[in-house]
Structure 1
């Protein structure tokens, strides 16, 4: 899928951002439901005898569950990026996150569920960091990237003054939030020192009576309507399905799409190969000065080159790692 920059920018406009938050929250709820009752996972990529007996419908359901879990974690990261900029969010959107969706409570449930821990079919503990891997004995309490993002959002939503004045701590919320304390041990704090401030906050929370921690300000809120969902609801879906089926059954249309996509990939390949030729100045006796080499990632002056193909130069290891996903396809050529 190819996206234009201006299309991506529109995701952060006020109206669309509201629906993006709603979409992220919907997947948070889905993730909580998936981790309330965990079932052992099969990490063996080779189909077992049990797998071969599954019907196609069961295979699709298993694939769907795995895909939903992965997508939910990606949208968790998206929500974290939005909350990172809460100073720039409108009052309407911030109130929607804090009060309407009660994102802090959803995140607390994820931590308490230990949503990124499970067990395989042999009973071994496994952890999710973009993929399920077995946990080594010394890595049991290592803070994964998704768990760290959840703690970061909790810090912002519960301790930031702009959010705290909007969030009312009821008896139920007090009870649920205090469950986080058992997960906040020294090993976690050593990895994420900012969480130390939570300890004092928990102590203060225990002293409250489960009523409002802060006075609830008078707010006149104008809620942003979900324009995208409204348009989708008004769409003539039967007509869209009929048109799509007709196009997908048309050999001429499929041929046209294949040619367009082929041209796009050929253009990418051409630009990349030309870029590599421009960056390896000096290798064939042209512009042999050290200053002539440019980094294959950032185009700054480069000092090191790929030790394997010796074609592409980089200014540091970080740039080389960023370019590796694309470069490795051509590295051995």
Structure 2
């Protein structure tokens, strides 16, 4: 329930949710306790985004720091990543056909929710500092996502990436195949968020252990990965001679005069590169061999006048690269550094030691095979958690038709969730939408009846 037009949670509610935040195992994913925590995190994510965009009191961020819950969020992020990587493919392989895909949808969406919450709050130095040793696992997580983006560049089919219809809501995601397509789209979105998270880490090297810098520079060689993404950006596509860029979580056609305009994603890469190449401590720690030097020099062709007009700070990097081109890399001086090793993901993986098929079969029979009463209860919680009015207020663009993707002005009058551009689309979609619509409508009606009864004066 909304407290006013600009809040999802009061500060005391947010603090209570965060205080109750706990670490779950992969086996727990999707169960009642895990689902309740997902609902809490979803609301915390919405409130954090509202507070940040409105420049209001960021009480979610403050409570995350004071209660020491950033490491718990990172653990939660990694548990969901492991579930999606190890368990979800087993469910697809066994041709699992659940009565409802609501629980699976929430699990797939959960990683994006946690990543978005972390992206919102980790802009602040004190949040990065409060992550403690878990920041190592977060850096490794970001590295995996950047590598994924590089592979997307190599494997992508440009026109298919832009035009393919992708499931965007739980009411549309009615089959396992549609959930699989949703998972792939979310993987791309999450990887973009990971790029922002990595940039924030590079912003705050001064409050983080030295081993973080060493791991980013030499263990993972993030600068070279970023150069590859500058050279072959997966967020840029061409279709029928038109340029498209991935902006605000969707593909948008870019006019000829705007083709050199730096997007938020591109800006994040350049700022991260600036920190990694220009900070004195990074220059001292980076093993700049001939291969790395030659790769970094590829950046010079991208540092045009148009780029420097938009990001003037890069002029310093341009001068550095010009100087680097004229000298041989100095011999790398290795210091004796006791490097910390990330432990969270390894601990999660060790708990099941490869027994993912057995776990998937168990969850298919129990967690993701709810009774009819449980389905109704899940639908009610879905309505309460994903409050459509507040989510609609956060949208910057008009809603899109659930069938053809065109701008939509008509809304399902029963569940108020799906949008359509014309009646033909709504009629064609009804057979697929009906079951979810019935559940959402019935749940909303019951919630209103309960609210009306509670508001009536007692005699």
Residues 38 and 118 of structure 1 are in contact (CA less than 8 Å); yes or no, is this contact kept in structure 2? no
Tell me the C-alpha RMSD between the 2 structures: 3.4
**CA distance in structure 1 between the aligned counterparts of 2:215 and 2:257, rounded to whole angstroms:** 40
Please state whether the residue corresponding to 1:14 is helix, strand or coil. coil
Out of 220-229 and 72-81, give the one that drifted further: 220-229
Instruction: Give the aligned partner of residue 150 of structure 1.
Output: 269
**CA distance in structure 1 between the aligned counterparts of 2:341 and 2:151, rounded to whole angstroms:** 27
Residues 134 and 342 of structure 2 are in contact (CA less than 8 Å); yes or no, is this contact kept in structure 1? no
Q: Which runs of 5+ in 1 are unaligned?
A: 48-55, 273-321, 329-333
Look at both structures and tell me which one has the larger radius of gyration over its CA atoms.
1
Instruction: Give the aligned partner of residue 249 of structure 1.
Output: 369
TM-score by length of 2: 0.51
Out of 3-12 and 176-185, give the one that drifted further: 3-12
Q: Which runs of 5+ in 2 are unaligned?
A: 1-37, 45-63, 75-127, 167-174, 399-459
Cα deviation, residue 17, structure 1: 1.4
Residues 15 and 227 of structure 1 are in contact (CA less than 8 Å); yes or no, is this contact kept in structure 2? no
1:218 aligns with 2:338: no
Instruction: Give the aligned partner of residue 36 of structure 1.
Output: 154
Question: What does 1:195-234 correspond to in 2, within 5 Å?
Answer: 195-212=314-331, 215-234=332-351
The one-character-per-residue Cα deviations of 1:6-58 (angstroms, maximum 9, x if unpaired) are 575224523321111111110101101111354222545779xxxxxxxx998
The one-character-per-residue Cα deviations of 1:113-135 (angstroms, maximum 9, x if unpaired) are 13332102x22111121221112
Out of 10-19 and 147-156, give the one that drifted further: 10-19
1:9 aligns with 2:70: yes
1:159 aligns with 2:278: yes
Instruction: Give the aligned partner of residue 220 of structure 2.
Output: 101
**CA distance in structure 1 between the aligned counterparts of 2:165 and 2:136, rounded to whole angstroms:** 42
**CA distance in structure 1 between the aligned counterparts of 2:259 and 2:185, rounded to whole angstroms:** 23
- Distance change (3 Å), C-alpha of 1:80 and 1:175: same
Instruction: Give the aligned partner of residue 12 of structure 2.
Output: none
Instruction: Give the aligned partner of residue 455 of structure 2.
Output: none
Please state whether the residue corresponding to 2:159 is helix, strand or coil. coil
Question: What does 1:96-135 correspond to in 2, within 5 Å?
Answer: 96-120=215-239, 122-130=240-248, 131-135=250-254
Please state whether the residue corresponding to 1:41 is helix, strand or coil. helix
Please state whether the residue corresponding to 2:192 is helix, strand or coil. helix
Residues 18 and 93 of structure 1 are in contact (CA less than 8 Å); yes or no, is this contact kept in structure 2? yes
Larger RCO, structures 1/2 (Cα 8 Å, 6+ apart): 2
**CA distance in structure 2 between the aligned counterparts of 1:254 and 1:46, rounded to whole angstroms:** 27
**CA distance in structure 1 between the aligned counterparts of 2:350 and 2:193, rounded to whole angstroms:** 26
Aligned residues: 266
1:77 aligns with 2:138: no
Please state whether the residue corresponding to 1:134 is helix, strand or coil. strand
Instruction: Give the aligned partner of residue 279 of structure 1.
Output: none
